[in-house]
Structure formats: C-alpha cells, structure tokens
Structure 1
Amino acid sequence: MPKVKVKICGVKTLEAAQVAAQSGASLVGLVFYPPSPRYLTVQMAHEISSVLLQMRDAPKSVGLFVNVSVAEMVETAEKCGLAYLQLSGDETVEICRVVAQERPVIKSIRLKPPLTLDDALATVAPYAELDNVTVLLDAYKSGFYGGTGERGDWEIAREIARFWRLILAGGLTPENVAQAVAAVQPWGVDVSSGVEMDDQPGIKDLEKIRKFAKHALSVQNKINNSTF
C-alpha cells in the first residue's frame, strides 16, 4: 500500500527544511504571501530549494501564492527552483489551467460551511479534473487564506478523496494526523501551524515536524493514487 505524502508548509529556515526532509516529507511549502507570518524572501527560498536539491530523496519545493499574476508566479518559480506552485487565493479555474502548463499546481480550496456533499463536489470538481492539478482541501475562516489551525469536515474530505487526488489540510497536528489519514484516505496531508511553537506563528517546532511525519507515515494509505 502507498504511503501518504507529507507536506510541511510555511518553512522559513534551512534547518526546518532539512528536518522535514530527514523525516520523510515529500513536499516543503514556501510562502510568498507577505501578510503571512510564514512569508519568506525570494533569496531565502532559493537557498532552501538549493539545499533540498542536493539531498537524496529530498522533498520537492512548493511555492505558495495568493492572488498574484501568472507571470509573477512563473518568475518566482524560476528564480527559486520551485517544483510546484500552490494557488491559495481566489484563483479561477482558467488561471489554474494556465499555471498548470508551467508547473504542477496545488489548488487550495476552503469550503465554507454549512455545505452539502453535492455542493462540495461541485465546487472541487472543476479544479480537480484539470490536468496537472491536485486539490488541497483546507478549512474555511473568514479573512484568511489558510494556516489558521481550523479543522475541516473529514467526512466530506473522504468523499472527495474517493474521486480525486486530495491533499488534506486544516487543523492537523502530530496528535491527530494518523487518525485523519485513516479516516479520509487522502493522497497527502498538509500542515503548517500544527508543527509550530506554541503561540509563535511561523516558528517551526522541529520535534513536532518529526512526530507529524512519523505518525502520518505510520498509516497504510488504501487509496491507490498516481505519482505527482
């Protein structure tokens, strides 16, 4: 059975990136959204990506953007050696389609409750069915584009994961990630605030990264998803 892919997002230091790699993470998220406490400069992102590229079985770097132009995303990807682009704003299906022609895309979708399963599937489908696009399902919180620590609806997430490759985010921690993987059977899991120092947004707790990856990877993932 395949193992779930682990994405450690909001990484700002070489040390955190290296610990994520050593712990078995498949993806490391670098945030290019200035209002976020996890924002980092292009120079630092380049350093992190360069180090990861030199490591054996290293995780791929993911650049996270919110409502910026395609040209800016592509330029930053080239400067920083990004393997994937994560669109975490209000990007349309058409923008995702265009960006996916440049790099594999992870499209973050926040489902606003209350929401029926049919509504959720209808919201996700136009993105999930695009070539070279994987959906990341995050929890909704007004005024925020992720990283809130809020937990989403795992039952709806599980149904979405039955149809499309899904990265589960929102409120995941070292303590609940194994339960989440078993319950939802996602292709991947994403964590940011759940592996940070208490009351210190943006500051990663290295031991929490290790525990999160260990617990996530301890669960056999029954979903047979293709390589991304």
Structure 2
Amino acid sequence: MEMLSCSHLKKIYQKQCVVNELSFSVRKGEAFALLGSNGAGKTTTIKMILGLIPKDGGTVERQADIRIGYSPETPYFHPFLNAREVLEFYGGLQNIPKKELKEQIPMLLERAGLEDSKTKVKNYSKGMLQRLALAQALLGDPQLLILDEPSAGLDALGRVEMMHTIQSLKEEGRTIIINSHILNDIERVCDRGIIMKKGNLLYEWEKGKEVRSLEEIFVDRIGGN
C-alpha cells in the first residue's frame, strides 16, 4: 500500500529547473531514501511534499488524515528555551491535549538522548539540535516521518544511536523518508530510494536487489552523468 505518491514534480527557481518531472512512491511502513549530491533537489522535493513551497508542476498524493512529523536539515529553536519548553511549545501548536503532552515529552526526550532537559537551546551543539529536532518530529505520534539529514553534526556514537532510533521507529510501523549523504546509514536502515542529480531521477535503488554496494552505485551514477 502506498503512503505517498509524487508524480512529475517540478520546481523552477529564477528560470532554473531544480526539480524536473520527478516521480516516485513510498510504501506504508518502509524507510525510503532521497539521495544525491548537494543541489540535487532533495530538500526542495521534501518542502513540496510538505506544502512549504508551491509546486510548479506535478502532484503529491498521500493517504488521507495521516499525521506527518518533520525534522529539517537546519533546525532552529528559540535559544532561551530548554528542550522540554520547546516540545511544550510545538505540542501546543499541534493542539495536543496537555495531559497527553505531559506523558509524551519525557519519553521523547529519552528516545532522542536528551534526558537533561534544563540546558538552554543556545548552548546546544549541532548534534543536540538534531536530537531535539527528532523529538519535535515525533510529537503527536506521526505515521509518516520526514527526516532531512537527521545525523548531520552527530559524532560517530551519536550517529549510530540515531540510526538505531530510526530503525526502531520503522519497526513500529512508521513510514520514513530520509535525506542523507551517509550512504552506509542509508544502506543499513532503508528499504528503497532514489538517486537524484540536478533535479532529475537517475536511479531507483532497492535493498536486496543490488549486486554492488549503494556507494558504488552512487559514485557510478553521479560521476558518470
């Protein structure tokens, strides 16, 4: 069953086509990767899926009434709030009942590795901001998670922990879309994905159906086009 389907997506900035007739679908319960070099159009595609920017062509269809959680590539939170206050603020924006929110927040902070919730955001490292962005994305128990560079800024241990968390979220039945440059992580947690270059779809990858590693495929496709 398809959770999300994009057909002939197009986006033009200043007369330059940054996403060109892009079509793909994401199945319910799978982890799906958006891959490509910088400037490939991955984040632009995510923003069109979320409705944060208008499309210049094509369609985005998703299952009705699904809840979506989003972790942006460069998360920003008010610097004078702590992690708990950030989640309370975003939970309020989602109209999550106070009792439910009070139960969710400690579990989400623990899951993201942010049990120390008293430190102000202004003192956070890039990795800690990524962890908080994941916790924020999980508010309201979303069925579809869209994670833009979720392990950016994390050290090696933090990255492993993040991938374990994403794997556990997938095992719970959530559908996950990931944009990442770390191909080993993608190969570990994702079921399928696409490789993009300059807004175009170059290759459709599927775990278990490839003789070569994802890195070999990526280098061949990106370097050879």
Same structural fold, with TM-score higher than 0.5 when normalized by the shorter chain: no
Q: Which is greater in Rg? A: 2
The structure, 1 or 2, with the larger RCO (C-alpha pairs under 8 Å, 6+ apart) is 2
Q: TM-score, normalised by structure 1?
A: 0.37
Q: Where is the strand percentage greater, Structure 1 or Structure 2? A: 2
Q: TM-score, normalised by structure 2?
A: 0.37
